[in-house]
């Protein structure tokens, strides 16, 4: 079922490891969460929007023509499920500068058609990087995002509004907050799903295979990152919360925190090793550059596939209770340490995700009153990303959403880590209601939001200066 032999690294796999991997797949939900091809659009710019859309469609469908077929063949041959096949492209704002059209939704439609033709799940990169200022093309892309997300089914969008070297663009924060509301309103009849396909970042990484924040090469978001990836690259996201939970359940309650950390590292190594070998084989067969392996414990709504459950096995009574941030910090750190021993190309976000709607344990914690938005914000200080897939009341003011974004961006900038906000104002719903998406996105109970944001901070504008620790030279 599983033949994991890597010619370039000579990483031999023993029969015992093969049997163990089979068990992780069949009993503990081990999977390759996504194989994502990053595709450069830098040759697709054109002053005529229609021609540019044609170039984009043709280039993406040609470059990624065999992505799904290759992934399906690997699934059969290696016996490890590959849940999603995705594409990420150059941030669209960087090629949209070639034209002067105000409405750039035709580019999103071209990308959506390409995704449908390829048979992939999602396509990321209808994006702009505005941490230091908003150019004309950036403005046109951002104002097109709500309509683009409302009229496509597979396109995802992101905006980077902050970085260590640039600080926080507070004008962009307010615009992003309004973008979230507009995307939610345009899809109100679908539980405001448009907002679930948009994410606002600080220190956005350019090689993440996960959505909605996946985007391709060029133009780094950290301020000290100049891009420079190949024209096409394969990045793999591997996940296994169920595997991690099963491993930790073998430890007694008397095990020390050091012993818990060691078990996490050992398990992360095994998970990442499978992803590394699959990544190399996919890149070889597709004839493109091998990128990174992103080991992120990304939960699903499936029972047993929960990051919240891992935190509770570590010893927290209920996710969100005192000790949650400590347990999450150790989990995130140990996952990274174990992963880097299995691959020299660990990258992306790599760690633990805490998306509320996608984690059955977190949904239960919210419904029990144990997990609040404020506690989730504290957890983002030590996890891989940020506030993710959180449903809030549909009448939440734009200033409140801007404040939530600003707080999260400050955590990222001051601590030099990637943080993000993906919140869903559920139009027409309030606390006690729920949004239902099904599949990977799951369901999310509407969480209460602190109403005391005021109306001044969000409208001050300007730039939160880069912190002192940004001075690296």
Cβ atoms 98, 141 nearer than 8 A: no
pLDDT in tens, 203-231: 998 777 777 655 555 544 444 444 556 78
Q: Find the helix or strand (DSSP H, E) in which 264 lies.
A: helix 257-286
- Share the mean pLDDT of the chain: 88
Cis peptide preceding 212, ω within 30 of 0: yes
pLDDT cut 70: percent of the chain above it: 90
pLDDT in tens, 141-189: 999 999 999 999 999 999 999 999 999 999 999 999 999 999 999 999 9
pLDDT in tens, 277-336: 888 889 999 999 988 888 888 787 776 788 999 999 999 999 999 999 999 999 999 988
Q: Find the helix or strand (DSSP H, E) in which 167 lies.
A: strand 167-169
Q: Which residue has the tokens 């200022």?
A: 133
**Is 443 in a helix, a strand, or coil?**
strand
Position 210 scores a pLDDT of 75
Position 471 scores a pLDDT of 84
Cβ atoms 14, 90 nearer than 8 A: no
Which two three-digit tokens encode residue 252? 């007694």
**Ranges assigned E (strand) in 23-166:** 31-39, 82-89, 122-129, 155-163
Q: Which residue has the higher pLDDT, 169 or 237?
A: 169
pLDDT band of 20, cuts 50, 70, 90: low
pLDDT in tens, 64-114: 999 999 999 998 888 888 888 999 999 999 999 999 999 999 999 999 999
Instruction: Give the closest residue to 235 by CA, choosing from 216, 221, 220, 218.
Output: 216
Q: Is the sign of the CA dihedral 225, 171, 94, 196 positive or negative?
A: positive
Residues in the chain: 473
Cβ atoms 337, 265 nearer than 8 A: yes
- For the full predicted model, state whether its pTM sits above 0.85: yes
The CA distances from residue 206 to 11, 79, 197, 350, 439, in Å, are 28, 29, 17, 13, 26
Which two three-digit tokens encode residue 319? 């996710």
Position 458 scores a pLDDT of 95
In this predicted structure, the answer to whether residue 248 has a pLDDT above a threshold of 90 is yes
The CA distances from residue 344 to 82, 152, 190, 216, 337, in Å, are 22, 37, 42, 21, 12
């Amino acid at each position: 079922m599983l033949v994991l032999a890597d010619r370039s690294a000579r990483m031999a796999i023993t029969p015992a490891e093969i049997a163990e991997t089979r068990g992780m797949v069949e009993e503990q939900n081990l999977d390759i969460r996504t194989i994502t091809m990053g595709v450069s659009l830098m040759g697709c710019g054109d002053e005529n929007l229609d021609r540019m859309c044609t170039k984009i469609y043709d280039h993406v469908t040609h470059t990624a023509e065999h992505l799904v077929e290759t992934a399906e063949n690997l699934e059969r041959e290696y016996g490890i499920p590959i849940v999603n096949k995705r594409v990420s492209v150059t941030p669209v704002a960087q090629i949209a500068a070639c034209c002067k059209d105000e409405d750039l939704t035709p580019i999103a439609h071209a990308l959506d058609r390409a995704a449908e033709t390829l048979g992939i799940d999602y396509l990321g990169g209808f994006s702009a990087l505005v941490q230091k200022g908003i150019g004309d093309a950036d403005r046109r892309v951002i104002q097109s995002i709500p309509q683009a997300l409302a009229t496509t089914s597979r396109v995802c969008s992101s905006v980077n509004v902050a970085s260590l070297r640039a600080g926080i663009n507070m004008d962009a924060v307010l615009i992003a907050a309004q973008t979230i509301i507009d995307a939610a309103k345009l899809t109100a009849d679908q539980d405001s799903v448009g907002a679930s396909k948009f994410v606002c970042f600080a220190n956005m990484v350019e090689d993440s295979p996960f959505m909605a924040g996946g985007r391709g090469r060029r133009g780094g978001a950290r301020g000290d990152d100049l891009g420079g990836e190949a024209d096409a690259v394969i990045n793999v996201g591997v996940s296994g919360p169920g595997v991690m939970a099963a491993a930790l359940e073998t430890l007694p309650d008397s095990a020390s925190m050091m012993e818990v950390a060691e078990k996490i590292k050992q398990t992360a190594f095994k998970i990442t090793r499978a992803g590394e070998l699959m990544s190399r084989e996919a890149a070889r067969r597709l004839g493109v550059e091998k990128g990174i392996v992103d080991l992120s414990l990304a939960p699903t709504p499936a029972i047993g596939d929960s990051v919240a459950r891992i935190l509770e096995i570590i010893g927290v009574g209920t996710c969100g209770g005192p000790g949650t941030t400590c347990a999450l910090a150790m989990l995130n750190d140990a996952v990274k340490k174990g992963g880097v021993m299995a691959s020299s190309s660990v990258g992306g976000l790599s760690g633990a995700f805490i998306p509320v709607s996608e984690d059955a344990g977190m949904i239960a914690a919210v419904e029990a009153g144990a997990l609040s938005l404020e506690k989730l914000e504290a957890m983002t200080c030590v996890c891989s990303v940020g506030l993710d897939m959180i449903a809030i009341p549909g009448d939440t003011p734009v200033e409140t959403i801007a404040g939530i974004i600003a707080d999260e961006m400050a955590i990222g900038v001051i601590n030099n880590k990637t943080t993000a906000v993906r919140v869903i104002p559920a139009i027409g719903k309030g606390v006690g209601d729920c949004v239902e998406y099904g599949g990977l996105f799951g369901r999310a109970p509407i969480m209460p939001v602190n109403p005391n944001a005021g109306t001044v901070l969000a409208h001050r504008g300007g730039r939160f200066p880069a912190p002192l620790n940004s001075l690296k030279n």
